[in-house]
Structure 1
Amino acid sequence: MRLMKLGFVRHGQTQWNLEGRLQGSSDIPLNDTGRAQAREAVSVLEPGQWDAIVSSPLSRARETAQIIADGLGLELGPSYDLLIERDYAQGEGMVETEALALWPDKHGGGIEPLDSVVERGLRAIEQIAADYLGKNVAVICHGTIIRYTLSHFAGYKLDTIHNGSVAIIGNESGSWQLELVNDQVPNRVAG
Structure 2
Amino acid sequence: MTFAFIRHGQTDWNRDDKLQGSSDIPLNATGREQAHEAARILADGTWQAVVSSPLLRARETAEIIARDLGLELGPSYTELVERDYGPLEGSPSSETMARWPNRQYPGAETIHSVVSRGLAGLARIAADYPDRDVVIVCHGTIIRYTLAALAGRPVEGIRNGSISTFRLDGDRWEVLTVNGAPLLPPTPEELDAWAGAAPVVDPRGIAG
Shorter-chain TM-score bucket reads over 0.9
Q: Is residue 2:178 matched to residue 1:176?
A: no
2:149 corresponds to? 152
93-102 or 179-188, larger mean C-alpha shift: 93-102
2:202 corresponds to? none
Tell me the CA shift for residue 102 of structure 1: 5.9
Tell me the CA shift for residue 184 of structure 1: 1.5
Q: Is residue 2:93 matched to residue 1:134?
A: no
Q: Pick from 61, 69, 91 the counterpart of residue 72 of structure 1.
A: 69
Tell me the CA shift for residue 100 of structure 1: 4.0
Residues 158 and 173 (structure 1 numbering): CA distance in 2 closer, same or farther, change over 3 Å?
Answer: same
Consecutive unaligned residues of structure 2, counting only runs of 5 or more, are 194-208
Is the 2:85–2:105 Cα contact (8 Å) retained in structure 1?
Answer: no
Residues 166 and 90 (structure 1 numbering): CA distance in 2 closer, same or farther, change over 3 Å?
Answer: same
Q: Deviations over 1:76-104 (max 9, x none)?
A: 11000000000000110000244346655
Give the Cα separation in 1 of the matches to 2:94 and 2:25.
20
Q: Pick from 11, 14, 17 the counterpart of residue 11 of structure 2.
A: 14
**Normalized against structure 1, the TM-score is what?**
0.92
Question: RMSD between aligned alpha carbons?
Answer: 1.7
Tell me the CA shift for residue 181 of structure 1: 1.2
Is the 1:48–1:72 Cα contact (8 Å) retained in structure 2?
Answer: no
Q: Is residue 2:108 matched to residue 1:114?
A: no
Q: Which has the higher contact order (CA 8 A, sep 6+)?
A: 1
The number of residue pairs the alignment matches comes to 188
Superposition pairs of residues 22-171 of structure 1, within 5 angstroms: 22-47=19-44, 49-100=46-97, 103=100, 105-171=102-168
**SS of 1:171's equivalent?**
strand
Tell me the CA shift for residue 43 of structure 1: 2.4
**Normalized against structure 2, the TM-score is what?**
0.85
**SS of 1:27's equivalent?**
coil
Is the 1:117–1:145 Cα contact (8 Å) retained in structure 2?
Answer: yes
Tell me the CA shift for residue 129 of structure 1: 0.2
Is the 1:44–1:183 Cα contact (8 Å) retained in structure 2?
Answer: no
Residues 75 and 125 (structure 1 numbering): CA distance in 2 closer, same or farther, change over 3 Å?
Answer: same
